[in-house]
Every structure is written in structure tokens, then in C-alpha cells.
Amino acid sequence: MAEYQAPIADMKFVIENLIGSGCSDVISDYVDVTPELVDAVLTEAGKLATEVLSPLNRSGDVEGCRLEGDVVHTSDGWRAAYATFVEAGWMSVSGEPEFGGQGLSKLVASSVSEMWNSANLAFALCPMLTQGATDAIRLHADKDLKDLYLPKMVAGQWSGTMNLTEPQAGSDLSGVRTKAVPEGRHYRITGQKVYVTYGEHDLTENIIHLVLAKTPGAPEGTRGISLFVVPKYLVNEDGSLGERNDLRCVSIEHKLGIHASPTAVISYGDDGGAIGYLIGEENLGLSYMFTMMNVARHAVGLEGLALTERAYQLALNFARERVQGEPLGTSGGKGATIIEHADVRRMLLLMKSHAEAMRALAYVCADIYDTAEKSLDPEVVQCASRRGDFLTPIVKGWCTETGIQMASLGIQVHGGMGFIEETGAAQYLRDARITTIYEGTTGIQAADLVSRKTLRDGGVAALDLLEEIESVAGFLSVEDPRLKEIGANLAQAVVDIRVVLEWMVKVQTEDLRLPAAASVHYLHLWGVTCGGWLMAKAAQLCCDKLIAGEGDSVFCETKIATAHFYANQVMPQTSTLARIIVRGSGSVLDLDTTNF
């Protein structure tokens, strides 16, 4: 099986040409987005992804993790790979310089994360969770906690986890039952958390759990949840490791995919209570989690993109080698590689064009987060925050749902060999399947997009983005017939979204269940359109470059052909989705619950 090769040319194209849309000319705001730096970072990350992480992807899937006593052993090669990863400084890419991080933008960090996810999703989850935990401490904890924990987490010496879920509290965290009782300067934590990714493992000397729990007398529901740092080993004031804390991994899950990523059930306080330290103030735990939710959800959206890219590379290699039949319209009887068959080309182009559309959208969104965080202009910050909030559920929901479809297509390209585990294609589908579930299911993303991100502000953020998309549709060259067609499809998508927005604003006053019934279709409508918007922009840029005789002409011709395919084969979905939403949402609600 060929190892993963990072698609550096497309990554650089997006970073150098497509970001900066919306709120400001952000490219100039960040010193790190120089072509030289991007080039160096992507090249080195690409090497590590190909040479170190990718070769362990299949063996990790086959071997999985092993629980002995309360110790989880990761699969063969994992510890050495993690040590190499940390020594090369990749854990600290986007960490704050104050705590030893390199402080690179989310844009550059996202392209690097895409590589880790493509090469080995089960491995990539460890740095991803650590990054999430680090962000929560950095943004909300007091100075003492930051100074004690962040330098070692940023360096990768200690890893981090997120402990939200309990058996009775999944999408709805109001049911959290884990308790935190104050005791001097710390709290005693008791309860059970499930599905904790990298909740126990042998890669780092300490594991820092971020745990949601309720203090005595806390308000009911989500307004009474607090957030705690609960280390596996207590940490002395000088940063050295102390006693083992009162928490243990009681089991690890047997899963459909990401076998090499340990998913732990953790019991807190069997011997009187694990020691935990409050982050920020009591009862604000969930709001703290929400401030870092965008980044975490975006990170999972990147997983959908990354698995599409990986599945595409594998399918393409196979299609270039497998000889079977003669394409319609040819003769000679020698047989042809299956890439010659029109239907295989269709499948490969669906995978390729979706990977490129998702990459453009995910990177544009990452850049908007950077703008919201770093711009000094309050108006720009407000605009970028609104745009980032709006795009986040689309990146998470659309990229992950699409990732599953594309990994499935990858199997189809292989025929029977795709269904056989040795090929590797099946693993990408199994691994992709979790991405629409954790960090908020697609249903939760869609509900967020409809209610908080669209209806709550009267559609301001949605209309704002739509105007920008419309301007791109109007700007596309009418001289080139392919660009003209791309523009027509994009303009139609804008019309479709407007129809849906009008419908939503109207029906929400009659029956709020109607927008809810339409929510996942609405999310897809935006996903397909945003992908089309950025592919259209890319096609126009490439057309301009070709006319000016600049850049790589093969890359540009390929981009225009791919964008044209996306416009003709993917964009027409917008009209169908709009029709389903406006005419069909009522039928979701017709059947009485007892009659199912």
C-alpha cells in the first residue's frame, strides 16, 4: 500500500490565494504566512506524515490498544513515533510562545493537522485533544495553573483529554452527575466518564484530564457545570510528579474504527475522591468549553477532509493499475486501466473535487479564527467572530458527512478489493464513521446552524456571506464557457439559499419544529455552496494566471477542470435541497410518534 503524500501544492495554493475573504485583508496581519515559512513547515510536516505516521496507520488498526490492569498499551511503534513527533517540535506548533509554543497561526496549524489526520487519524487524536485541553487552560485558568501545566503540555511531555460525556449525558450535558466537592484549595472529584479519547495510554508521563462536574448546590442543568483540571499524577509546586491521583481507566471500548486510539471509561474517586483544580469560576464550565468549541469542531471537520484526501490517493493509485474491460466507445481487446472508464473517472473526480472544496473552506475558516483572535480592529474582530461562528458547524458537519461518503466511494473504486481489509480502503470508511458523532453530532451542528447562527440574528451572518458568494458569481469571466457555467451554478445556489432563508424566517413563527426538520439539509446546502464558492474563486484565479502566463499551468488547468466538474456534478444539489426543505419538511413531522 502506497504511503500518504501530502498535497502540498494544493495546500499552498489555498493559503496563498484563497484566504483573506470577508472581514479584512488578513494576509498582512500575520507574520508567519510568508511563502517561505509555509513552504518549510509544509515540507517538513509532509515528510514526517509520510515516513513516520503513515506506515503505522494499518498496523495500529490491526493491533489496536491493550488494557492490562489499569494501564493502556498503545500499539507497536506508537511510542517511538510520538517521541519523534514531540522531539521535532510538532506538538508546539500553535502553542503560545509564552509557554514554549511556536505561536503559528491556526491557518498553518490546520494544514499541518490535515497531514497528521490523513496519515494516521488514530495517532492525530492525541495531539488534537491535548491542543483542546491546552486552549481551555490557557483561556480560562488562573496564572498558577497555567504556569504549572501549560509548558509541559505544549511541549508534548504531558497529554490532555476532554471528559464531558457520561452514560446519561451525551449531546445534552445538563445531565452531568460527576461531583466536585471543595476541600481547601482543591476539589474532590467522584463519578464516571465514558468515551474519553486517549484517557489512558503509555505515550506521556502524565495525562491531564479536563473534567466537567457539578459542585454542591449548583444550579440545575447546564448553568451548574464547572470545569476542573484533574491530573493522572498530582503535580508538585516545582512541576515534578507527585502521587498517583484517585482515578483509573476501568475499560477501553472496542470500536468500529480508530482502533489505535484508546477510548477509555474512567472512574474518578473510588478511594475517596480524585483531586481536581477549578478552572475559572464555578458554574461557568460549559461556557468555557464553548469558547474553544469552534476550534475543536473545526479540527474534527479537518478529519473529514483528511480522510477524503487519503481515500482519494489510494483509490487513484488503484485505478491507475487495475486493468479491467474496455471503456465504451473504444475497441482493441487489450483491456484498459479502470481510470479510463467514465464512471470511475466520475467517482475519482467527486473525491478530488470534494477534497479541494473542503480544504479551501476549512482553511478559510481557520484564517477567520486567526483574524478574530489577532486583529486589533474591533469591527474586524466582530465581523470575523460572526463569520467564524457561522462557518464552524458547516465545516464540522459538511466535511465529516462528506468524508464518510467519499471514503465509501473509495471502496467502490476498488471493487471487491475495497471490501477486503488488506487494501486499506475499508479502514478509512471505518475511521471516518466517528467524525459525524464526536464533538457534537451532525444533528447538533445543524440545530446550531439553524437556531443560533441563522435565526437568532435574523439571518445577518447568513446574508452577509451570501452577498460575498454572490459577488464571486457575478465576477466570474463570461469569456471562458467553463467559468460561465461555474458562475451560473453558483448564482443558482444563492437563489436557492435565499428561498430557504425566507421560508425559515416565515415558518419559525408558525412551528419551530419545521426549521429543525430542515436543519441537516440546510447544513448541506451551505456546505455544497461554500465549497462551490471557493472552487469558483480558485478557477477564476487560475484562469487569470494562465492568461498572464504565471504559475504552474498544469496545476491551473487541473483546478479549472475540477471546479467545472464540481459546478456541474455537485452544485445542482442546491436546488434539490432547497426543494426538499421548503416542500418536504412538514412530512418529517406528519407521522405520530406512536405509529413508527
Which residue, 20 or 170, is less far from ligand FAD as judged by CB? 170
Binding window for ligand FAD (CB under 6 A); candidates: 71-79, 161-169, 312-320, 475-483: 161-169
Closest CA to 522 of 560, 458, 472, 578: 578
Show the binding pattern over residues 243-282: x = contacts ligand FAD (CB under 6 A), - = does not.
Answer: ------------x-------x-------------------
82 is a site residue for ligand FAD (CB under 6 A): no
| Total interface residues for ligand FAD by CB under 6 A | 18
Is residue 227 within the footprint of ligand FAD (CB under 6 A)? no
Sole binder of ligand FAD in the list 41, 126, 162, 530 (CB under 6 A): 162
Q: How far is the CB of 396 from ligand FAD (least distance, A)?
A: 12
58 is a site residue for ligand FAD (CB under 6 A): no
Distance CA 301, CA 241 (A): 35
Measured in whole angstroms, the distance separating CA 235 from the mean position of its chain's CA atoms is 32
**Closer residue to ligand FAD in complex, CB, 160/280:** 160
Nearer to ligand FAD, 299 or 493 (CB): 299
Q: Give yes or no for a contact between 366 and 106, defined as CB atoms under 8 angstroms apart.
A: yes
Stretch that binds ligand FAD, among 184-192, 223-231, 383-391, 440-448 (CB under 6 A): 440-448
Q: Which H/E stretch holds residue 276?
A: strand 274-278
Residue choice 187, 438, 522, 566 for contact with ligand FAD (CB under 6 A): 438
Closest approach of Cβ 197 to ligand FAD, in Å? 3
Cβ density class 369-389: b for 16+ within 10 Å, e for less: bbbbeebeeeebbebbbbbbb
Q: Quick one: which of 444, 473, 517, 539 contacts ligand FAD (CB under 6 A)?
A: 444
- Pick one of 195, 228, 288, 390: the residue that binds ligand FAD (CB under 6 A): 195
For 86-154, give the DSSP string. HHTTGGGTTS-GGGT-----HHHHHHHHHHHHHH-HHHHHHHHHHHHHHHHHHHHS-HHHHHHHHHHHH
Provide the minimum distance between the beta carbon of 329 and ligand FAD in the complex, in angstroms, as a whole number.
45
Indicate the residue among 67 and 499 with the shorter CB distance to ligand FAD: 67
Estimate to the nearest angstrom the gap between the alpha carbon of 291 and the chain centroid. 16
CB of 249 to ligand FAD, least distance (A): 13
Least distance (Å) between residue 281 CB and ligand FAD:
21
The answer to the question of residue 434 lying near ligand FAD (CB under 6 A) is yes
Q: Does 197 bind ligand FAD (CB under 6 A)?
A: yes
Q: Does 170 bind ligand FAD (CB under 6 A)?
A: yes
- Is residue 441 part of the contact set for ligand FAD (CB under 6 A)? yes
Strands 158-163 vs 206-213: parallel, antiparallel or unpaired: parallel
241-244 vs 233-235, strand pairing mode:
antiparallel
362 forms part of the interface with ligand FAD (CB under 6 A): no
**By the rule CB under 6 A, 437 interacts with ligand FAD:** yes
C-alpha cell at 261: 486510539
The reply to whether 447 sits near ligand FAD by the rule CB under 6 A is yes
In the residue annotation, 439 being an active-site residue is answered as yes
At residue 266, φ and ψ (nearest 5 deg) are -120, 130
CA distance 177 to 6: 44
Nearest distance, CB of residue 253 and ligand FAD, angstroms: 7
Q: How many residues does the chain have?
A: 596
Neighbours of 593 (CB within 10 A): 5
Please state, in angstroms and rounded to a whole number, the distance separating the CA atoms of residues 178 and 272: 13
Nearest-CB residue to ligand FAD? 170
* CA 9 remoteness from chain centre: 21
Give the interface segment with ligand FAD, choosing from 288-296, 327-335, 346-354, 436-444 (CB under 6 A). Answer: 436-444
Specify the stretch interacting with ligand FAD by CB under 6 A; choose among 151-159, 310-318, 439-447, 477-485: 439-447
Query: What does each C-alpha distance from 38 to 33, 110, 234 come to in angstroms?
Result: 6, 12, 39
282, 439, 467, 557: the catalytic one is 439
Q: Is 5 helix (H, G, I), strand (E, B) or coil?
A: coil
Q: How far is the CB of 159 from ligand FAD (least distance, A)?
A: 12
The answer to whether the beta carbons of residues 180 and 215 sit under 8 Å apart is yes
Cβ at position 209, least distance to ligand FAD in Å: 10
- Give least dist CB 110 to ligand FAD, A: 20
Residue 123 is a binding residue for ligand FAD (CB under 6 A): no
Residue 171 binding ligand FAD, by CB under 6 A: yes
Q: Among the candidate windows 388-396, 432-440, 452-460, 481-489, which touches ligand FAD by CB under 6 A?
A: 432-440
513 binds ligand FAD (CB under 6 A): no
Is residue 173 within the footprint of ligand FAD (CB under 6 A)? no
Cell of 534: 471557493
- Note whether 585 binds ligand FAD by CB under 6 A: no
Q: Mind giving me the DSSP string for 534-575?
A: HHHHHHHHHHHHHHHT-S-HHHHHHHHHHHHHHHHHTTTHHH
Give me the torsion for CA of 94, 97, 99, 105, rounded to 10°.
-20
Residue 164 binds to ligand FAD (criterion: CB under 6 A): yes
CA distance 65 to 74: 5
Q: Please give the Cα distance from 568 to 574 (Å, whole number).
A: 11
Distance CA 341, CA 350 (A): 14
Give catalytic residue positions: 439
- Contact footprint for ligand FAD (CB under 6 A): 162-165, 170-171, 195-197, 255, 263, 434, 437-438, 441, 443-444, 447
